């Protein structure tokens, strides 16, 4: 082959290496294609591409020999091939004064064909040096590009993983309003869709409103204000109005300055505070009702006490009815305070039960006695109790608290002169207590929440509020601590039935008959 033909072939070979380097391939794929092409183009038996890594080097790809890609060699430690070699060429791969690795080219002694790299080649050493320099330069550029792509891919993967694991909604967008990245929480909050453009009217499923529910013009959206004014938004409250429902959110938007100081990327986070806002509203309502409830018995109590004192100071006989009515109001205050204390004990895990073996038939009979003998109620009671004892390990005071609260609710929400039915029976290994009234029932929207703390339902769909919304919440906690359950069955214009299930004690087996 003439010198000109060899040079032409070298140029075509370098062009082929450039084609491999510019192809769409991963780092591993590029390295595999590269060593295969080098083995053919350089007529070499063994080609090894080593990469610098953590103070040493490891084989990224090899041709003609199997090497462990996880094996790391310290600097200065040569590869041990244990093969008789005729020619060895080790070329450093350097890109912009940074050593990326090295290229190892070997010809074994068994190879009889001459090589341009053997002594006595017709090509000048200067040309061979220039050829190898061009070859390593091409490899270095391609390898550097692949390493950067791998690092970028890994960084992007870590960024995706980080954003997906943030518990709030996160979105990245640029100065052209283009959404670059968002996590699952953001897609769920925005109606399970991916924005391409911030506030795209064609794909926007909600109206953005201020904290008062007034719709904001698109120019006042915190995302677009950050782009326009380059200022952050910190914990600003907004409402996402989807038409059939609303979500209340806290939004933060932060410009991310680039090297020139100008923001090009913006990160927005949103926290769904709908449940928290509703809970806060319930707490506010609770405090309002609690204040009213505590003041309500205090006023007549003070009045009755002043009346009794006036009678005593004027040497009159103190009216026993005045004292009884004052005592009644004092008991009301005590029950309210006990409810607050029970709530605190439940929230801090300090509600304790003092359980002992009790016959539930006798306990329910005792609990119902005040209503059976009461003369100041127009309601009638229908009570059904079994003749055989039902033994359970319960705290009798707490069970009385639950039954009393439910009967009070039945009297409050049932008809003033209606019937209240109370049944106790055995079902498998549980005792079942049902308490039913013949009122107007409970709206399904209320029924979902009646056992929640601070929840207060209206009477007959109105705004009637006479409790702190803790009775059923405390009752459920008490029953569940007994290992039982409590449910409510109701519907508008239908009776309401509260069903309590308590585990019974296992009865000892009867001795065999003689």
Tell me the per-residue pLDDT of 21-68, one tens digit each, with 9 for 90 and over: 888 888 889 999 999 999 888 888 899 999 988 778 889 999 988 888
| pLDDT given at position 463 | 36
Considering the chain, what percentage of its residues have pLDDT values greater than 90? Answer: 28
119, pLDDT greater than 70: no
| Count of alpha carbons within 13 angstroms of residue 241, beta-carbon side | 11
Per-residue pLDDT, 268: 93
pTM beyond 0.85, yes or no: no
Q: What is the predicted pLDDT for the residue at 123?
A: 61
Q: Kindly list the strands in the beta sheet with 419-427, ordered across the sheet, starting from the edge strand earlier in the chain.
A: 380-384, 419-427, 430-437, 496-503, 485-489
Helix, strand, coil % over all residues of the chain, rounded to 5:
40, 25, 35
Model confidence pLDDT, tens digit, residues 258-301: 766 677 889 999 999 988 887 787 777 767 767 777 777 888 88
Average pLDDT across the chain, whole number: 84
pLDDT of residue 460: 44
**Which helix (H) or strand (E) segment is 135 a member of?**
helix 125-164
Q: Are the C-beta atoms of 379 and 419 separated by less than 8 Å?
A: yes
Pair 247, 272: CB distance under 8 Å? yes
Cα 162 to Cα 156, 165, 252, 258: the distances in Å are 10, 5, 18, 21
**Among 254, 263, 276, 69, residue whose Cα is nearest residue 171:** 254
Per-residue pLDDT of 291-331, as tens digits, reads 777 777 888 888 889 988 988 889 888 888 888 888 888 88
* pLDDT at residue 374 tops 80: no
- The SS3 of residue 45 is coil
The per-residue pLDDT for 461 is 42
Q: Using CA atoms, how far apart are residues 270 and 169, in angstroms rounded to an integer?
A: 5
Does position 367 have pLDDT exceeding 80, yes or no?
yes
Least confident of 109-123, 384-398, 413-427: 109-123
pLDDT of residue 76: 66
Does residue 479 carry a pLDDT above 90? yes
């Amino acid at each position: 082959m003439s010198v000109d033909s060899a040079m032409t072939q070298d140029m075509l070979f370098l062009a082929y290496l450039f084609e491999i380097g510019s192809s769409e391939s991963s780092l591993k794929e590029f390295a595999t294609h590269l060593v295969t092409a080098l083995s053919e183009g350089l007529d070499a038996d063994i080609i090894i591409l080593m990469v610098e890594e953590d103070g040493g080097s490891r084989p990224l790809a090899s041709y003609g020999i199997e090497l462990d890609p996880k094996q790391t060699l310290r600097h200065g430690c040569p590869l041990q091939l244990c093969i008789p070699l005729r020619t060895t060429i080790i070329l450093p791969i350097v890109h912009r004064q940074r050593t990326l690795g090295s290229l190892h080219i070997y010809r074994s002694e068994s190879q009889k064909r001459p090589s341009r790299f053997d002594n006595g080649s017709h090509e000048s050493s200067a040309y061979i040096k220039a050829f190898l320099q061009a070859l390593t330069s091409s490899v270095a550029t391609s390898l550097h590009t692949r390493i950067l792509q791998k690092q970028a891919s890994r960084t992007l993967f870590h960024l995706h993983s980080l954003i997906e694991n943030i518990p709030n909604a996160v979105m990245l967008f640029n100065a052209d309003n283009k959404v670059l990245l968002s996590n699952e929480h953001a897609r769920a909050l925005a109606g399970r869709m991916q924005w391409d453009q911030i506030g795209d009217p064609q794909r926007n499923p909600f109206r953005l409103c201020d904290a008062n529910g007034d719709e904001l013009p698109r120019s006042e959206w915190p995302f677009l204000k950050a782009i326009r004014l380059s200022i952050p938004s910190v914990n600003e409250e907004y409402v996402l109005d989807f038409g059939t429902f609303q979500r209340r959110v806290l939004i933060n938007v932060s410009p991310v300055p680039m090297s020139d100081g100008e923001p090009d990327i913006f990160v927005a986070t949103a926290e769904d505070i709908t449940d928290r806002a509703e809970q806060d509203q319930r707490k506010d309502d609770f405090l309002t009702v609690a204040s009213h409830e505590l003041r309500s018995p205090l006023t007549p109590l003070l009045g009755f006490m002043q009346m009794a004192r006036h009678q005593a100071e004027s040497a009159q006989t103190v009216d026993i009815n005045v004292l009884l009515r004052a005592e009644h109001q004092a008991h009301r205050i005590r029950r309210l305070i006990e409810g607050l204390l029970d709530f605190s004990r439940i929230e801090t895990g300090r509600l304790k039960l003092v359980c002992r073996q009790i016959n539930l038939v006798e306990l329910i009979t005792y609990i119902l006695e005040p209503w059976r003998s009461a003369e100041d109620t127009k309601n009638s009671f229908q009570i059904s109790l079994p003749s055989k004892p039902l033994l359970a390990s319960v705290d009798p005071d707490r069970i009385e608290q639950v039954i009393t609260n439910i009967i009070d609710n039945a009297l409050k929400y049932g008809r003033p002169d209606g019937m209240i039915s109370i049944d106790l029976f055995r079902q498998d290994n549980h005792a079942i207590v049902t308490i039913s009234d013949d009122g107007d029932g409970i709206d399904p929207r209320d029924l979902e929440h009646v056992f929640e703390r601070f929840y207060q339902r209206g009477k007959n769909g109105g705004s009637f509020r006479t409790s702190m919304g803790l009775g059923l919440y405390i009752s459920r906690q008490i029953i569940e601590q007994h290992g039982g359950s409590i449910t409510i069955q109701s519907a508008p214009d239908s009776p309401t039935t509260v069903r309590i299930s308590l585990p019974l004690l296992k009865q000892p087996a009867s001795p065999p008959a003689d």
